[in-house]
Amino acid sequence: MIKTGYEGSLKDKTVILGVCASISIYRTLDVIRDLRREGANVIVGMTEEAQEMIDPRLFEWASGNTVVTDITGNVEHVELFLHKENERMLLVCPATYNAVGKMANGIADDVVSLFFSFALGNNNPIVVCPVMHEAMMSNKINSNNLSSLESAGVIIMPPLLEDEKAKISQSGKIIDFVKLSFFRTVLNGARTFIIGGRGDEPIDPVRVITNRGTGLTGSYLSRYAFIFGSSRVVYAGNSDYEMPDYVDFHEAHTLHDYFDSVRKILDHEKFDIVINSASLPDFSVSKPIKVKLDSNSDWKIELKKEQKLNQLIREKHKGKFVTFKLEGSEMPRDANKLLMSQRSDCIVYNSYSNKHDPYGRVQNHYFLIDAKGMNDFGNITKEEMARKLFIYLKENTFGEKN
């Protein structure tokens, strides 16, 4: 998962973490650390069995809050969740086979199951991370229990399946699911297709014309499409960063790859939003050489102008279409002309005033251009830009303010 800093996107949110007895229990300390780095307040509740596996003082140290180890006359399972709507959520991690069975069948006889019983009725967001042997995970009773939880509105986080076990996923992915529980109404099920990465055009079998694009923008766009509630996220292209497995990834490198992938995807699926953040060559080699060029000789290479991918997308996609434009000037000279040339509904514009690093910087000055004019996003990180873009799309596509 991408880790280039923390945006504090869980500021003013509280995560109630229910911890059950599993060998994976030690992993939850990392989860708490990353939740707090994102600005969340974390309060931990533990079952008796979990307390026997790891000292609650470790969770108190990690969270900065007193750990709930028993339900007292203070009715902690009620008081912890009685706050403003969408301000507090329950994360059950790890959730054992026994815990899943209790939650799905209305049994509330320990700290975590009592937390769940009230949170569900109080409409708090809930994420459950099941952890157990793979055979237990897939048996019919557990499958029915998980389906029952999902039908009640609980988000079930798919475990990492390896070594015949269903294990806790990476901490970064868990954080994404926590964010999803809070923010999924932003896109509210919209289907999103993202094109990202850099294009490579062959000169010979080992050399290419390319650029310094890294795919970081596309990676953040994919994450936030998911976090904000897209029912489907498809990505075509490449990235130097690991793509989360909740994204349907279609690898593409050459212009032919991109055109082929985009055409096939748009021929078979309809999307509410298409975003083209890819940095593709405007030219290709007229006659790519079939053998490796002799490095002891001089060579002349002839380039030919290539068709724009935006044209193909606009022909096949009738929904909202967003493009990206990287230029040398700080601000676009003619925003209306640029918008028409891109064949899109809006453009995310940024410059490469830093001539030595036009692509790889985490932070840039972004403008959003649409038919109404130009919106200055400011000098922000790529992650914050992705967040702002999807909020803009909510307000201007689905007609509902965030």
Domains of the chain: residue spans and CATH = 14-183 (3.40.50.1950), 191-397 (3.40.50.10300)
The reported pLDDT for the residue numbered 338 is 78
Three-state SS for the chain is CCCCCCCCCCCCCEEEEEECCCHHHHHHHHHHHHHHHCCCEEEEEECHHHHHHCCHHHHHHHHCCCCECCCCCCCHHHHCCCCCCCCEEEEEEEECHHHHHHHHCCCCCCHHHHHHHHHHHCCCCEEEEECEEHHHHHCHHHHHHHHHHHHCCCEECCCEEECCEEECCCHHHHHHHHHHHHHCCCCCCCEEEEEECECCEECCCCCEECCCCCCHHHHHHHHHHHHCCCCEEEEEECCCCCCCCCCEEEECCCHHHHHHHHHHHHHHCCCCEEEECCECCCEEECCCCCCCCCCCCCCCCCEEECCCHHHHHHHHCCCEEEEEEEECCCCCCCHHHHHHHHCCCEEEEEECCCCCCCCCCCEEEEEEEECCEEEEEEEEEHHHHHHHHHHHHHHHHCCCCC
Quick: pLDDT tens for 53-96. 999 999 999 999 999 999 988 888 999 998 877 899 999 999 99
| 353: confidence class by pLDDT, cuts 50, 70, 90 | low
pTM confidence score:
0.91
pLDDT bucket at 109, cuts 50 / 70 / 90: very high
The whole-chain average pLDDT of the chain stands at 90
User: Is the model's pLDDT at 398 over the cut of 70?
Assistant: no
For 263-304, write each residue's pLDDT tens digit.
999 999 999 999 999 999 888 888 888 888 888 888 888 888
pLDDT tens sequence across 201-250: 888 888 888 888 889 999 999 999 999 999 999 999 999 998 999 999 99
**Residue-level pLDDT at 400:** 46
